[in-house]
A and B are shown apart, each in its own frame.
Chain A
């Protein structure tokens, strides 16, 4: 019974450790996406952006723009399922005035209106749609109230902006911009939420991409695109220049979700763009992820080792307990070989039953662990069951091999005498 319990417990822990570490790599990579976009797409032929603290100070008529209609193609690249989210940005310099509680409020100064998607259904060339937007690429942008609707004249205002002018959600804001051809375009926007980002957006206004396009008279265009992609941390191979690779190497590189490969695939799909890797995010993620993965495998290995020791030791104990029985069998004429086979068969049976029970308990344990730590339950894998059962068989056999050898040398007479 003790052997069985030890076996089941040991294998339960091994199962839990193995399932969690098998799943955790992908999970952690996804967690890292909360750092935000790791790719930035800008027009290839462009004047130099005058960007300070995330705000572009170029006048509206300077620089190049990109077409929004192409964006669905992002989900047609080789690694389309690794594209977690994307959000186009179009910034409009505006002057504003507000209506708070039915009374006008002066809001002097120049502000930046950031046009983007909050949660947009993007049509994809294969006929389906994909939901994405800035609330997915920038999860640290918190909105008190709700996000604006992408197809209506609504906006969220930065927390510093709202505090400065005493604005609340439900108020109205009218914004005016000069698209550069002498016209002045004005729009009235309903404030539906207060945005808190901890960055320069706190002093601006965020509205739908369509609003910014109308204000700048740039229908269907954007200026910058942030893409958040799941990637494999860069290794020595990924740092090679693709231009110097052999065709076989290039294929391997192209079909691995390295960030540089995904960047190349995006620039092939979206014509006239320059796709850059946001190094601080990509490299920071790569560093931490590689280290944590190694660490986890190490700890899993330690857990497996400890489980093996525990099971081996209790298997040994159970054979020693059988001394009298072995003596009796031998006295009745069983050879050492037969005794060893009998005992080994018993241990194997124990290993399969104990391993099976351990696997079931381990799956529950892995669910508990996964849910506590990551808020997800790892899927039970048949592969793990296979590994656990073979491990259990191997360990029990190894653990009982030494006492079995000793048992085969037992002389029946002294044992039966109780010595």
Chain B
């Protein structure tokens, strides 16, 4: 372009001729960019955070033996050894499981259920109860609930056990008491370090180390099932299940349908709602910028009339205004998006209690959106093309 210095000179003059107007437009664009980037970032973060929140529902994946028969059984005395073995898994499954999935820790706990008899230490009144041997990381995440009693000094003891709140009431025990466990002549004992309340079947169970349960049931190296709590979107959890079942043969890996279905439905609804609102807000923001720009178009009538009168073609005039719009879009976008990202970090803290991680991909996207909006908002300037210089100079509207 031979007259490019002149072109940029005019653009510079267009921008700087009226500082208050420039300020208003940049404010509009900046605010738009800020809202865009804050909402986009919050939306991405919220969707991820939602999958984490769902994990307060507890385990969502189970690895169980590929057997048709029921697990456990009250008349296990009549069931033969091989049958009992068939209904369990090898404990070697546990170390094979991935410790992390998509950057999130995967709590996994192996359980072995024994229906044995339990008595408070010092009494001989035995009553049948379910004894669950556990081993693995993250039992509290697998089995959400609250500890109604807790004795910290015993918690490190490998021979200590946890008791469900109903079982504790039945045996009249509290934290610090001892329990006697027995099953078909085999005996064990443990000291209670916590009483837990979950509202589920766990309230009636006694949680010991896996080893104790294996000794009581004479099933060394066996487990009933593994429970995992996998964080991720419904698709990601499905993929995880597929990966693990490929790796572990002879076991049935499946999601807990109750959670999977409800989570999938809720996730889709909430993320759909968020996306819809974000799109609406973006439309409004561009509307706001467009209104600001139409102000400019009106004020520019005289300038355009003059340009046309001295022989400027419509294309060149429009190009001038486009260049102006793009420059303002970039400036407003760069500043506004940065502010928006900062705001979203703070908003994330307000909503989820954890600062939202800024996703850097949001920054360029929201700058680009701002530029596009700014250029699209230059649309009212097209009206200028139809201005006839003579009427402008006469002072007509």
Q: Which of A162-182 contact B (CB under 8 A)?
A: 163-164
List the one stretch of A71-79, A214-222, A245-253, A285-293 in contact with chain B: A285-293
How long is the Cα–Cα vector from A58 to B74 in the complex, in angstroms?
7
Which chain B residues lie closer than 8 Å to A296 at the CB level? 273, 277
- Which listed segment binds B: A46-54, A183-191, A344-352, A385-393? A46-54
Q: How far is the CA of A320 from the CA of B283 in the complex (A)?
A: 24
Q: State which residues 249-290 of B face A: CB under 8 Å.
A: 254-262, 265-266, 269-270, 272-274, 276-278, 280-281, 283-285, 287-289
User: Given A40-B199, A284-B144, A291-B351: A49 and B204 within 8 A (CB)?
Assistant: yes
Given contacts A10-B287, A32-B266, A55-B70, contact A199 B198 (CB under 8 A): no
Contact residues of A between 16 and 41, Cβ < 8 Å to B: 16-17, 20, 24, 28, 31-32, 34-36, 40
Do A203 and B288 touch across chains, with their CB atoms under 8 A apart?
no
Q: Contact: B54 with A284, CB < 8 Å? A: yes
Q: Which residues of B contact A28 (CB under 8 A)?
A: 266, 269-270
**Contact across chains for B287 and A310 when beta carbons are under 8 A apart:** yes
Contact of A287 among B53, B262, B283 (CB under 8 A): B53
Chain B nearest CB from A43 CB (Å) reads: 11
- Nearest neighbor of A158 in chain B, beta-carbon distance: B68
For chain B, which range describes its interface: under 10, 10 to 19, 20 to 34, or 35 or more residues? 35 or more
**A340 interface residue (CB < 8 Å to B):** no
Q: How far is the CA of A10 from the CA of B70 in the complex (A)?
A: 60
Please state if A320 and B69 are interface contacts (CB–CB under 8 Å): no
Secondary structure class of chain B's binding surface, majority of residues: helix
Is the interface on chain A under 10, 10 to 19, 20 to 34, or 35 or more residues?
Answer: 35 or more
Known: A140-B262, A279-B145, A291-B352. 15 other contacts (CB 8 A): A2-B291, A20-B273, A34-B265, A35-B57, A49-B204, A53-B71, A199-B256, A199-B257, A280-B143, A299-B39, A313-B292, A316-B291, A317-B295, A373-B273, A418-B395
Interface residues of B (CB under 8 A from A): 28, 31-32, 35, 38-39, 42, 46, 49-50, 53-54, 56-58, 68-75, 113, 115, 127-130, 143-146, 166-167, 170, 197-201, 203-205, 224, 254-262, 265-266, 269-270, 272-274, 276-278, 280-281, 283-285, 287-289, 291-292, 294-295, 298-299, 302, 347, 350-352, 392-397
A-B contact pairs, 22 of them (CB 8 A): A13-B283, A31-B266, A35-B258, A47-B170, A49-B166, A50-B74, A50-B115, A55-B70, A198-B255, A199-B258, A279-B200, A291-B351, A294-B350, A296-B277, A302-B35, A303-B281, A306-B288, A313-B288, A313-B289, A372-B276, A417-B395, A418-B302
